[in-house]
């Protein structure tokens, strides 16, 4: 699942090392447009009900955090 | 009450003295009393609007808190009830804001449809900084709705959040989760806070009183009668307006941030050296940051991730496979946000056009980004210094032309002025620049002020906050960073009164 996530993230934001970065929001690597694009893709690819309330830095700072969010919002 | 008035300084000094003399538990009450005094003196009965806003968000916040607790206890989502609370807060606040700021403009537009009947209301009491405290307050309700913060149960403490006086007139727009704990903290006196606060206030007063108020004289001369000047002088007027606006707004923010720092309170940053922006979107991330962040969190995200936009996204992907289909919904949401930012500035076609100008350029840049990237790679362009300088220059030009729209007396005049720049520039008129209200000495002071400002911002862009650099210098130098600007303000800003001190531009918003 993580590999699929990294693949999707890299497609949306090429050039970002999603496997290693742990402060994607705090360091300003991802911007609002990236976040919306990522959420749109994750909703579709993982059937995850991610909403505006989930748009917190701690949920998007790393691929692991996004993975945890997806798991919480699936089903 | 203006942040440059003696009344504000007296209130600030008195509030700071009483704040640190009062028992720690009661200090927040000193801030509340100072805020209400500030607003009563400056706006009279308009303080009632502040109380109304505070009451609305207090009640909505409490109701949301109860619904959130219930949801946590038994999993009851009660989404509709929670949404109604947010809707009520938005309707009451933005309804009042619409009535105060936009009703007369709307009535004017409706008049021809109503057979010339004027529904306008005269003599409306316009509260100071109405958009700022209402946006901040609605943000609090949404944050409670999203369960990011717990609702404030003490109405007076919430009123303090709504009415914290240094930031009331023109921001920055704070978040409850960041500001409220600081307002209520029981802290000891710290001389460093006072020193940093005074340093930042002096920097702000220098920008406002020495540069902005001088530049305003030339701007008012040119824009008061643009028809008497050629395109080049009009462009000079717009250029001075860019200087005036930045020094006025960021200077006011520096004063507000510095004043808050006297109480040990750190307000959110509102500017990050916009001169160094490499795109219009980057400019809006560096200019009026707290408004941009507010729009992002409370308008852009909810629109972009709404069900209608999700459906639009799916349809766009089917119709336009590839990158274009993916960015269409976000581009539309971006356009809407910038249109709102334009209208936020005031009820006027110029501001609608200003929103359209920014929204259209940023939306186009999103849609065309893949093409730009492809051209860049084909031409072998790299993100080096010259390319960055080119991007900064082209952003400055876009911002510059946007300022024509907001400062010209009318929208059509703005378009005519841009045409004049290219068709009838009359460059020879620039030789008589000394006849535009500012003498050679004042022009030199503006130029020197801008040069110092650019150098300081260049330093900060490369090496970070200059205050951190100052901190490592001997105490004498640190205090000189307060005394020298104060001397400059006294000599060039107050005593050399060849210019008219003007009110803050953003105060009207």
Quote the CA–CA distance of B64 and B204 in Å, as a whole number. 39
Other CB atoms within a 10 A radius of the CB of residue B263 amount to 25
CB B169 within 8 A of CB B252: yes
Chain B closest CA to A1's CA: distance in Å?
23
In three-state secondary structure terms, B378 is helix
Name the band, by pLDDT with cuts 50, 70 and 90, for residue B62. Answer: very high
Name the band, by pLDDT with cuts 50, 70 and 90, for residue B178. Answer: very high
- B181 — phi, psi (to 5°)? -60, -30
Lowest mean pLDDT among B24-28, B140-144, B362-366: B362-366
Q: Hey, is the C-beta of B296 within 8 angstroms of any chain A C-beta?
A: yes
In the prediction, which pLDDT does B401 show? 95
Task: List Cα–Cα distances, A14 to A30, A38, B391, B451, in angstroms.
Answer: 11, 12, 22, 39
Lowest mean pLDDT among B2-6, B361-365, B485-489: B485-489
Other CB atoms within a 10 A radius of the CB of residue B488 amount to 18
CB A44 within 8 A of CB A24: no
Preferred mutation among B77, B146, B376 to probe A, highest tally of A CBs within 10 A: B146
DSSP string over B28-80: HHHHHHHHHHHHHHHHGGGHHHHHHHHHHHHHHHHHHHHHHHHHHHH----HH
Q: Hey, is the C-beta of A3 within 8 angstroms of any chain B C-beta?
A: no
In the prediction, which pLDDT does B437 show? 85
Which residue has 């119709």 as its token pair?
A: B319
| Residues in B touching A43 (Cβ below 8 Å) | 310
Name the band, by pLDDT with cuts 50, 70 and 90, for residue B495. Answer: low
- Residue spans of the domains in chain B: they are 6-110+123-189, 194-508
Please say if the pLDDT value at position B321 is more than 80.
no
Chain B closest CA to A50's CA: distance in Å?
9
Chain B closest CA to A55's CA: distance in Å?
8
In the prediction, which pLDDT does B470 show? 86
- Which two tokens mark A55? 């748009």
Burial class (CB in 10 A: 0-12, 13-18, 19+), B10: exposed
Mean pLDDT of B93-97: 92
Which is the CATH superfamily of the domain at A2-73?
ACP-like (1.10.1200.10)
Residue B145: closest C-alpha in chain A: A53
Please say if the pLDDT value at position B149 is more than 90.
yes
Choose among A31, A36, A56: nearest Cβ to B304.
A36
| Residues in B touching A51 (Cβ below 8 Å) | 305
> Omega of the bond prior to B86 within 30 degrees of 0, cis?
no
Lowest mean pLDDT among B181-190, B233-242, B321-330: B321-330
In the prediction, which pLDDT does B447 show? 95
pLDDT per position as a tens digit, B245-289: 999 999 999 999 999 999 999 999 999 999 999 999 999 999 999
- Which two tokens mark A63? 């691929």
Other CB atoms within a 10 A radius of the CB of residue B13 amount to 11
In the prediction, which pLDDT does B484 show? 84
- Residue spans of the domains in chain A: they are 2-73
DSSP string over B323-358: HHHHHHHHHHHHHHHHHHHHHHT-SSHHHHHHHHHH
CB B454 within 8 A of CB B275: yes
pLDDT per position as a tens digit, B280-308: 999 999 999 999 999 999 999 999 999 89
In the prediction, which pLDDT does A14 show? 83
In the prediction, which pLDDT does A2 show? 84
In the prediction, which pLDDT does B317 show? 83
Give percent of chain B above pLDDT 70.
96
Please say if the pLDDT value at position A70 is more than 60.
yes
pLDDT per position as a tens digit, B428-458: 989 888 888 888 888 999 999 999 999 999 9
**Alpha-carbon dihedral sign for residues B194, B196, B199, B202:** negative
In the prediction, which pLDDT does B412 show? 94
């Amino acid at each position: 699942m993580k590999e699929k996530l990294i693949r999707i993230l890299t497609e949306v934001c090429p050039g970002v090392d999603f496997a290693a970065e742990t402060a994607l929001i705090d360091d300003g690597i991802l911007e609002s447009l990236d976040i919306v694009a990522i959420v749109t893709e994750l909703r579709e690819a993982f059937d995850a009900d991610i909403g505006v309330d989930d748009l917190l830095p701690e949920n998007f700072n790393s691929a692991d955090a996004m993975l945890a969010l997806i798991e919480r919002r699936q089903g | 009450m203006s942040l440059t008035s003696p009344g504000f300084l007296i209130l600030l000094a008195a509030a700071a003295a009483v704040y640190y003399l009062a028992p720690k538990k009661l200090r927040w009450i000193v801030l509340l009393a100072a805020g209400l005094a500030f607003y009563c003196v400056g706006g009279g009965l308009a303080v009632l609007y502040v109380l109304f806003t505070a009451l609305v968000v207090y009640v909505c916040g409490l109701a949301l808190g109860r619904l959130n607790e219930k949801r946590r206890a038994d999993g009851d989502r009660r989404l509709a009830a929670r949404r109604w609370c947010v809707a009520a807060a938005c309707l009451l606040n933005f309804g009042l804001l619409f009535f105060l700021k936009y009703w007369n403009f709307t009535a004017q537009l409706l008049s021809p449809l109503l057979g010339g009947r004027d529904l306008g209301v005269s003599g409306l009491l316009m509260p100071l900084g109405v958009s700022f405290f209402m946006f901040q307050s609605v943000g609090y309700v949404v944050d409670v709705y999203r369960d990011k913060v717990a609702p404030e149960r003490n109405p007076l403490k919430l009123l303090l959040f709504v009415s914290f006086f240094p930031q009331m007139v023109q921001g920055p727009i704070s978040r409850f989760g960041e500001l409220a704990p600081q307002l209520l903290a029981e802290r000891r006196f710290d001389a460093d806070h006072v020193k940093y606060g005074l340093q930042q206030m002096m920097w702000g007063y220098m920008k406002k009183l020495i540069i902005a108020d001088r530049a305003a004289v030339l701007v008012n001369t040119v824009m008061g009668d643009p028809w008497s000047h050629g395109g080049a002088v009009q462009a000079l007027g717009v250029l001075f307006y860019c200087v005036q606006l930045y020094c006025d707004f960021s200077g006011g923010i520096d004063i507000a941030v510095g004043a808050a720092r006297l109480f040990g309170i750190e307000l959110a940053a509102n500017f990050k050296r916009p001169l160094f922006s490499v795109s219009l979107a980057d400019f809006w991330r560096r200019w009026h940051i707290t408004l941009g962040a507010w729009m992002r969190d409370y308008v852009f995200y909810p629109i972009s991730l709404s069900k209608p936009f999700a459906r639009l996204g799916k349809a766009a992907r089917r119709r336009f496979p590839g990158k274009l289909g993916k960015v269409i919904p976000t581009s539309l949401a971006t356009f809407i946000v910038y249109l709102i930012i334009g209208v936020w500035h005031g009820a006027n076609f110029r501001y609608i056009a200003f929103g359209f100008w920014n929204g259209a350029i940023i939306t186009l840049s999103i849609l065309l980004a893949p093409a730009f990237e492809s051209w860049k790679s084909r031409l072998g362009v790299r993100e080096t210094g010259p390319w960055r300088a080119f991007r900064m220059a082209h952003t400055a030009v876009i911002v510059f032309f946007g300022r024509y729209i907001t400062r010209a007396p009318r929208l059509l005049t703005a378009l005519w002025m841009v045409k004049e720049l290219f068709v009838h520039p009359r460059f020879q008129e620039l030789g008589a620049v000394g006849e535009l209200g500012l003498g050679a000495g004042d022009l030199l002071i503006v130029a020197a002020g801008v040069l110092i400002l650019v150098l300081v911002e260049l330093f900060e862009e490369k090496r970070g906050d200059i205050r951190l650099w100052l901190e490592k210098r001997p105490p004498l130098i640190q205090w000189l960073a307060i005394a020298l600007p104060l001397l400059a303000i006294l000599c060039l800003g107050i005593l050399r009164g060849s210019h008219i001190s003007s009110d803050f531009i953003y105060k009207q918003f």
